[in-house]
Amino acid sequence: MEKEMAEIESDRADFQKEKDSFEKEKKAFEKEKSQLLKEMTRLKDLQEEIETERDDLELDKKEVEKERQSVKAQKEELENKKQEKEHNTMTSQKSVDETDEKDGTKLRRSSSDVMLRKVIEDKTKIEGELVQLKSQMRSLQNEKDGHDDVVNSLKKNWKNLFLNINFCK
């Protein structure tokens, strides 16, 4: 009987050890579960933040595109003005030449020089404006490319976060 009691005590001690071990594992699992829930909450917050940032970047992208269109329209307008001035200058020059030929004087050369000088000045001014517009356009393109890179990066991060959230579920 003592042998049976010793076996029962031994079994009881083994059972208590297993119970304690299970309790430790249970606490560890509960702690891990709590950490995962916190992480999921943090990931959801990050996802919302990323979506907000993405929306802001898309608005910025649209604004940059509008600015690009505006710069393009200004560039076309300047080109048209340049062509119109060249046409007017040629017409004016032709008129001056015809007048000088009728007068038969040697003023033709000096008026041509003056007109040519004006044409060159106007051309230089327009070319300077075109250089500025091209520079603005390049800057806008670089800014847009930067925004595109950020949007793509955020989309990639969002996708990874979404996959992590789904994995945790």
- The DSSP line for 99-145 is HHHHHT-TTHHHHHHHHHHHHHHHHHHHHHHHHHHHHHHHHHHHHHH
The answer, yes or no, to whether residue 26 has pLDDT greater than 90, is: yes
User: Mean pLDDT throughout 105-122?
Assistant: 75
Looking at per-residue confidence, does 29 or 96 come out higher? 29
Q: Is the dihedral of CA 115, 121, 127, 129 positive or negative?
A: negative
Q: What's the per-residue H, E or C state across 61-104?
A: HHHHHHHHHHHHHHHHHHHHHHHHHHHHHHHHHHHHHHHHHHHC
C-alpha to C-alpha distance for 134 and 69, rounded to whole angstroms:
12
User: Mean pLDDT throughout 135-147?
Assistant: 89
C-alpha to C-alpha distance for 40 and 145, rounded to whole angstroms:
32
User: Mean pLDDT throughout 91-108?
Assistant: 58
Residue 107: per-residue pLDDT: 47
The answer, yes or no, to whether residue 18 has pLDDT greater than 90, is: yes
The token duo for 148 is 């595109």
Residue 99 belongs to a domain with what CATH number? 1.10.287
User: Mean pLDDT throughout 111-137?
Assistant: 88
The count of residues in the chain is: 169
Give the H or E element holding residue 11.
Answer: helix 2-103
CB-count exposure of residue 143 (10 Å: 0-12, 13-18, 19+): middle
pTM of the entire predicted model: 0.42
User: Mean pLDDT throughout 15-26?
Assistant: 93
How many distinct structural domains can be found in the chain?
A: 1
pLDDT in tens, 34-92: 999 999 998 889 889 888 998 988 998 898 889 889 888 998 998 898 888 888 877 77
Full residue range of the structural domain in which residue 137 is found? 2-168
What is the average pLDDT value for the chain, to the nearest integer? Answer: 84
The answer, yes or no, to whether residue 157 has pLDDT greater than 90, is: no
3-state secondary structure of 48: helix
User: Amino acid identity of 80?
Assistant: N
The answer, yes or no, to whether residue 106 has pLDDT greater than 90, is: no
Q: pLDDT band at residue 98, thresholds of 50, 70 and 90?
A: low
